[in-house]
Amino acid sequence: MEATLRSTRRSALRLHPDRLFPPGTEARAIARRLYAEVRDLPIVSPHGHTNPAWFAENEPFPDPATLFIVPDHYIFRMLFSQGIPLESLGVPRSDGGPVEAEPRRIWRLFAENFHLFRGTPSRLWFEHALVEVFGVEERLSAATADAIYDHLEACLARPEFRPRALFERFNIEVLATTESPLDPLQHHKRLKASGWRGRVVTAYRPDPVVDPEFDGFSDNLAKLGAITGKDTATWTGYLEALAERRQFFIAMGATSTDHGHPTARTADLPAREAEALFDKIRRGGCTAAEAELFRAQMLTEMAQMSLEDGLVMQIHPGSFRNHSPAIHRAFGRDKGFDIPMATDYVHALKPLLGRFGTERNLSIILFTLDETSYARELAPLAGVYPALKLGPAWWFYDSPEGMRRYRQAVTETAGFYNTVGFNDDTRAFLSIPARHDVARRVDCAYLAELVADHRLDEDEAREVAVDLAYNLVKKAYKL
């Protein structure tokens, strides 16, 4: 009976203007006033994984399923957890094996199971896009799936729904993508030559050439040498090649690097020991401990390079990547089986901070997937070391609850101004306005409670709200 009701019910879709604001009358009124100050500020998206080809080529998005479902691991991991195969959602297999190719069938399957997303941030982002971008007025369900699909498909065929037009409509001031040092950045070159005024920059993600356990690491070193003309079979040539690629990325607009290491461990080895470790790594057959030590050393080497060339350094540790070997083999990296881990920062970062922590001209932004570290480690570290700032609630925790916990945990020690505002870190382009709107609402709600508690005056809260939504991110990422 429940399934029948779920498949036939049609409900209006409406975004409540007070969503995510405090329930109390006084605090809610304050939150409304604060939100009015930041609601229409431009979006600065300093770190993410959208495809630069979208903006370089400016072709229509192909269909609603390819746009919303196939690339979004937040969506397909939830569906998979309920026994729905990734193949039936159109997720490509590494071996080129058959997957569902009819987008309408993928969309219907998603609609039939949309109830699984109740209470999740995915639902907030998705419905925000339906209402604000496409003007949908009915909630997605089995009964409305085809009508909504038809409406979205018709919209996507119109010029105002092409990537550049949406970029402008979303009021995005700048958006950063993320690329490997081996990437020729052809799409970014096309963008620079196009004359389009939208600002899309790259970020330098060296994982494929600094992580010995990355697939194809040896081949990647050879490619790095071929691209740069440096001898990447030597420690000196390897470091020179990495530095040269950084300069190329800077020329393409990069202001930051991004390091997705399993842990936050850093090392500061004597030069001869670092060279010997590299030689062993390059020859292959290193142990897991040696691979971890090499990654740790490379974080410190990257910090040295950032001090020299000015790129902001982002460290994103603490994910157990590819937790399911079967899914990794079948579908490759980044297919939803990455899991948060407990992460040490106090001891792990000490070698890097011992060398660079008091450098005022170095900017290192720390993220975590271990919320227990916020008050205990990260806020105290960022609250004293000039080189450190705290990134926002990230990945599994860029939800209303996660954002609230973040502010509650870090503000008392790090304050607001040792944080860097918000970044969306997304592959899903249409979710960018929704994610920033959620962050602005949550921050205004938190500030409203401080005002209602008489811990902050409202004029101060207005300044902080604008800083959190706009000013801090521009300053932190040199944008």
pLDDT 10s digits, 145-181: 999 999 999 999 999 999 999 999 999 999 999 999 9
Residue type (1 letter), 429: F
pLDDT in tens, 321-343: 999 999 999 999 888 799 999 99
Would residue 364 be called left, alpha or beta, if left means φ above 0 and alpha means ψ between -120 and 50 degrees? beta
Mean pLDDT computed over 449-455: 97
Residue type (1 letter), 350: K
Nearest to 75 by CA among 111, 25, 31, 21: 111
Share of the chain above pLDDT 90, in %: 95
Mean pLDDT computed over 44-61: 97
Asked if pLDDT for residue 21 goes beyond 50, the answer is yes
What is residue 101's predicted lDDT score, i.e. its pLDDT? 96
pLDDT in tens, 409-421: 999 999 999 999 9
Mean pLDDT computed over 16-35: 97
What is residue 38's predicted lDDT score, i.e. its pLDDT? 98
Asked if pLDDT for residue 5 goes beyond 60, the answer is no
Count of residues in the chain: 479
Mean pLDDT computed over 70-87: 95
pLDDT in tens, 215-265: 999 999 999 999 999 999 999 999 999 999 999 999 999 999 999 999 999
What is residue 97's predicted lDDT score, i.e. its pLDDT? 95
In which band, very low, low, confident or very high, does the pLDDT at 9 lie, cut at 50, 70 and 90? low
What is the 3 state secondary structure string of the chain? CHHHHHHHCCCECCCCCCCCCCCCHHHHHHHHHHHHHHCCCCEEECCCCCCHHHHHHCCCCCCHHHHHCCCCHHHHHHHHHCCCCHHHHCCCCCCCCCCCCCHHHHHHHHHHCHHHHCCCHHHHHHHHHHHHHCCCCECCCCCCHHHHHHHHHHHHCCHHHCHHHHHHHCCEEEEECCECCCCCCHHHHHHHHHCCCCCEECCECCHHHHCCCCCCHHHHHHHHHHHHCCCCCCHHHHHHHHHHHHHHHHHCCCCEEEECCCCCCCCCCCHHHHHHHHHHHHHCCCCHHHHHHHHHHHHHHHHHHHHHHCCEEEECCCEECCCCHHHHHHHCCCCCCCEECCCCCCCCCHHHHHHHCCCCCCCEEECCCCCCHHHHHHHHHHCCCCCEEECCCCHHHCCHHHHHHHHHHHHHHHCCCCECCCCCCCCCHHHHHHHHHHHHHHHHHHHHHHHHCCCCCHHHHHHHHHHHHHHHHHHHCCC
Give CA separation, 268 vs 127, 264, 265, 294, 355, in Å: 48, 14, 11, 10, 8
What is residue 129's predicted lDDT score, i.e. its pLDDT? 97
In which band, very low, low, confident or very high, does the pLDDT at 285 lie, cut at 50, 70 and 90? confident
Sign of the Cα pseudo-torsion (420, 422, 426, 428, in order): negative
What is residue 1's predicted lDDT score, i.e. its pLDDT? 34
Contact between 438 and 403 (Cβ < 8 Å): yes
User: The tokens 């997303």 sit on which residue?
Assistant: 117
What is residue 376's predicted lDDT score, i.e. its pLDDT? 97
What is residue 169's predicted lDDT score, i.e. its pLDDT? 98
Mean pLDDT computed over 361-376: 97
pLDDT in tens, 176-229: 999 999 999 999 999 999 999 999 999 999 999 999 999 999 999 999 999 999
Share of the chain above pLDDT 70, in %: 98
Asked if pLDDT for residue 115 goes beyond 70, the answer is yes
What is residue 336's predicted lDDT score, i.e. its pLDDT? 77
Displacement of CA 235 from its chain's centroid (Å): 31
What integer best gives the mean pLDDT of the chain? 96
Residue type (1 letter), 93: R
In which band, very low, low, confident or very high, does the pLDDT at 318 lie, cut at 50, 70 and 90? very high
What is residue 8's predicted lDDT score, i.e. its pLDDT? 52
Going from the N-terminus, what domains does the chain have, and what CATH number goes with each?
17-60+161-476 (3.20.20.140), 61-160 (1.10.2020.10)
